[in-house]
Chains A and B, each alone.
Chain A
Amino acid sequence: MLIDTAQASAQQTADAPAVRVEGVSKSFAGSVALEPISMRIERGEFLTLLGPSGCGKTTLLNLIAGFLEADQGELYIHDKPVTRVPPYQREIGIVFQNYALFPHMSVARNVGYGLRTRGVPKAEAERRVREALALVKLEDFADRRPRQLSGGQQQRVALARALVIRPRVLLLDEPFSALDRNLRAAMQVELREIQTSLGLTTVFVTHDQGEALSMSDRIAVMSRATIRQIGTPSEIYDHPQNHFVASFVGDANMFRATLLEAEGSDARLKLGETEARITSFQTDLPAPGPVTLFVRPEHCHLAEPGTPGTIPATVALSVYQGSHTELHVDCPLAEGGRAMLRVPSRTSVAPGEPLAIGLAESGAAVFGAED
């Protein structure tokens, strides 16, 4: 009986999410930095907090790390409440935006810092530092000072320093923003490989949607101090649930429309002078009335002006992109008066030329005013 219970609880602990956030909120001097939010981060998952600056993603990261204390709610790491546990007892590894490598210590001493605070015996500590440096391919740099390293190398040291303590969760605070473009792509691949091979739960904060889409198991898109949608990269990109997510991730065309009737996922819309039928990926559509019609550029095509069900526009600018050409068009029905189409590179259109935007049958969505 006793054994059963122990096993059951061990079982439960093993199944428990790496991080569980329950109604956690935070305000600073009266302004809300984070509305009460709840979420689970599974073990081994790579979860990205994506959003513009000031959306609360860094606040959430600091709450998980323990640098901030939540006003309300409870935070669990491996099913243990940690809301009031100080950072130094949370067993969390962090890679900071500017890496925060201790400038007065060698690379090896930087990496070994977390082992010294834990009183790991010297011989074992040295071995683990060597292993960690080998993991990030910096064995030969142990005696250098951080400022003698390139940006990419500094980032690897920061990663090794965070990994060597075998953290329960790894937090990454915009770690690629200081790297140039080519190095960034290489580091992203390398980081993801290490993370997958170690099965390490990772929370990644970024405002770069490309980074988020390419690296994550799941993305939590945040704005105005709350999570607007959480899902896999393809769910976020293909099936955004609201206006903010649709426009923040990827390119989006938004048209002012009136929803005439809806049946299941099928909708009939009034678009200016004409009417169109679309099949939305949404399960429930808003009530009939003024709405915003969302279509990705890849679900739009060029049509003959005047074709029923198309949206009239004029070419403003065409931008050659190699594999295709981006047509930026003036369109009275579009939000901001502008929409964008991707057309084959050979298509020749001159600025000022009238055209019409045709909509694909799927891939669109309708957002009510409150979304």
Chain B
Amino acid sequence: MYKSFSDHLLDWAGRILLTLILGFLVLPFIVVFIASFNESAILSFPPQSWSTRWYVNAFEYRDFGNGLRNSLRVAAFGAGIALVAGAGFAYVFNRYDFAFKNTLNGILLSPLIIPNFTIGLGVLVLTAAASMPRNVWTVVAVHVIIVLPFVVRSVYVSLQNLERAYEQAAESLGGRPLHVLLTITLPLLLPGLVAGAIFAAILSFNEFTASLYVVSQRTETLPVAMYNYVREYADPTLAAMSVLYVAAVAALLLLVHKIFRLEKVLNVD
């Protein structure tokens, strides 16, 4: 395609702008990466001397290990329950008309607007008012509420893209509803379901604000443990922790991208 001088100028302006924006996005992670190797407990740029001792510290700090175990457990159960409930709801919402369908939809998607601190506070005062014990299941419940809308949306998009003719063909060939569900619908929805589950698990793993309201010392999740650490200590242990966190999430995302292509999952293709 022919390009005029002004077109080239636009191209270059665009490239510079893009680089600046991407720089803004990665800057904090580069900085935290450098800071994590700073020998001194007091921040300085550039670091005077280098060390990996904060990584050792991060691994040895008991609250992080405890928080990681809690977070993994909560994310697994939270995402699992949200997947089952969310996929089921997306299916009936896509397929059927029933009483209070839109009310139910509105309530389930409301956590997209209700701030997390309100959800956390709500569950906290609910358990207090109903004299319910607060344990790991309270945390799971909060996480299910928060990640459910994302699962519903992901599965709903997959369902909308699923041509009804596949299921109709299977039905005409003698497949009973359950058989069709298991041999046609579920396999064809699998990418959406897996993506929804992974998305939900990551969101749950990261959830901080609402968790802060309902965790106890024993059920503290990793983000809460990290927050508490910053409030008590100023050393770069948390920088080391952040680097590990970023590395783990980036690896997971790269894997998802390789298998499913993020463009598809996020519907930006």
Q: Which residues in A have some Cβ–Cβ distance to B below 8 Å? A: 65-67, 86-94, 96-98, 100, 102-104, 113-114, 117-118, 161-162, 165
Given contacts A88-B176, A113-B170, A165-B174, contact A104 B188 (CB under 8 A): yes
11 residue pairs bridging A and B, Cβ less than 8 Å apart: A87-B168, A88-B174, A88-B177, A88-B180, A102-B170, A114-B173, A117-B176, A117-B179, A161-B173, A162-B172, A165-B174
**Contact between A102 and B184, CB atoms less than 8 A apart:** yes
Q: With a CB–CB cut-off of 8 A, which chain B residues contact A117?
A: 170, 173-176, 179
Q: Which of B169, B175, B183 has the most CB of A within 10 A?
A: B169
**Contact between A96 and B165, CB atoms less than 8 A apart:** yes
B28 interface residue per 8 A CB criterion? no
Q: With a CB–CB cut-off of 8 A, which chain B residues contact A92?
A: 172
Question: What's the least CB distance linking B147 to chain A, in Å?
Answer: 27
B171 interface residue per 8 A CB criterion? yes
B163 interface residue per 8 A CB criterion? yes
Q: With a CB–CB cut-off of 8 A, which chain A residues contact B170?
A: 102, 113, 117
**Contact between A86 and B174, CB atoms less than 8 A apart:** no
Complex alpha-carbon distance, A50 and B97, angstroms: 32
Question: What's the least CB distance linking B111 to chain A, in Å?
Answer: 32
Complex alpha-carbon distance, A88 and B180, angstroms: 10
Q: With a CB–CB cut-off of 8 A, which chain B residues contact A66?
A: 171-172
Question: What's the least CB distance linking B189 to chain A, in Å?
Answer: 11
Closest to A103 in B: B188
Q: With a CB–CB cut-off of 8 A, which chain A residues contact B171?
A: 66-67, 86-88
Q: Which of B169, B172, B179, B188 has the most CB of A within 10 A?
A: B172
Complex alpha-carbon distance, A93 and B179, angstroms: 18
Complex alpha-carbon distance, A98 and B20, angstroms: 47
B137 interface residue per 8 A CB criterion? no
Closest to A86 in B: B171
Complex alpha-carbon distance, A146 and B195, angstroms: 24
Q: Is the interface of B mostly helix, strand, loop or mixed?
A: helix
* Chain B interface category by residue count: 10 to 19
Given contacts A65-B172, A93-B172, A117-B174, contact A104 B187 (CB under 8 A): yes
Q: Which of B174, B177, B183, B188 has the most CB of A within 10 A?
A: B174
**Contact between A94 and B168, CB atoms less than 8 A apart:** yes
**Known pairs A96-B165, A113-B175, A117-B170. 20 more at Cβ < 8 A?**
A65-B172, A66-B171, A67-B168, A87-B172, A88-B171, A88-B172, A88-B174, A90-B172, A93-B173, A94-B172, A96-B169, A104-B188, A113-B170, A113-B183, A114-B173, A117-B173, A117-B179, A118-B174, A161-B169, A162-B173
**Contact between A98 and B168, CB atoms less than 8 A apart:** no
Q: With a CB–CB cut-off of 8 A, which chain B residues contact A162?
A: 172-173
Question: What's the least CB distance linking B129 to chain A, in Å?
Answer: 44
B166 interface residue per 8 A CB criterion? yes
Complex alpha-carbon distance, A117 and B165, angstroms: 17
Q: With a CB–CB cut-off of 8 A, which chain A residues contact B188?
A: 102-104
State which of B163, B172, B175, B183 has its C-beta within 8 Å of the C-beta of A98.
B163
Question: What's the least CB distance linking B223 to chain A, in Å?
Answer: 38
Question: What's the least CB distance linking A74 to chain B, in Å?
Answer: 20
Question: What's the least CB distance linking A100 to chain B, in Å?
Answer: 4
Question: What's the least CB distance linking B258 to chain A, in Å?
Answer: 20
Give the residues from 163 to 207 in chain B that come closer than 8 angstroms, CB to CB, to chain A: 163, 165-166, 168-177, 179-180, 183-184, 187-188
Question: What's the least CB distance linking A28 to chain B, in Å?
Answer: 12
Complex alpha-carbon distance, A100 and B172, angstroms: 12
Q: Which of A65, A89, A94, A117 has the most CB of B within 10 A?
A: A117
Complex alpha-carbon distance, A66 and B176, angstroms: 13
Q: With a CB–CB cut-off of 8 A, which chain B residues contact A89?
A: 174
Complex alpha-carbon distance, A89 and B184, angstroms: 18
Q: With a CB–CB cut-off of 8 A, which chain A residues contact B180?
A: 88
Complex alpha-carbon distance, A118 and B176, angstroms: 10
Complex alpha-carbon distance, A89 and B124, angstroms: 52
Complex alpha-carbon distance, A86 and B180, angstroms: 13
Question: What's the least CB distance linking B31 to chain A, in Å?
Answer: 46
Question: What's the least CB distance linking A63 to chain B, in Å?
Answer: 13
Closest to B190 in A: A104
Question: What's the least CB distance linking A27 to chain B, in Å?
Answer: 15
Complex alpha-carbon distance, A93 and B174, angstroms: 10
Given contacts A98-B163, A103-B188, contact A165 B168 (CB under 8 A): no
Q: With a CB–CB cut-off of 8 A, which chain B residues contact A96?
A: 165, 168-169
Question: What's the least CB distance linking A198 to chain B, in Å?
Answer: 17
Given contacts A88-B176, A113-B175, contact A100 B187 (CB under 8 A): no
Complex alpha-carbon distance, A211 and B218, angstroms: 74
Complex alpha-carbon distance, A162 and B175, angstroms: 13
Q: With a CB–CB cut-off of 8 A, which chain A residues contact B175?
A: 88, 113, 117
**Contact between B172 and A102, CB atoms less than 8 A apart:** no
Q: Which of B166, B173, B180 has the most CB of A within 10 A?
A: B173
**Contact between A165 and B173, CB atoms less than 8 A apart:** yes
Question: What's the least CB distance linking A152 to chain B, in Å?
Answer: 18
Closest to A114 in B: B173
Question: What's the least CB distance linking A3 to chain B, in Å?
Answer: 33
**Contact between A94 and B176, CB atoms less than 8 A apart:** no
Complex alpha-carbon distance, A66 and B168, angstroms: 9
Q: With a CB–CB cut-off of 8 A, which chain A residues contact B174?
A: 88-89, 91, 114, 117-118, 165
Question: What's the least CB distance linking B187 to chain A, in Å?
Answer: 5
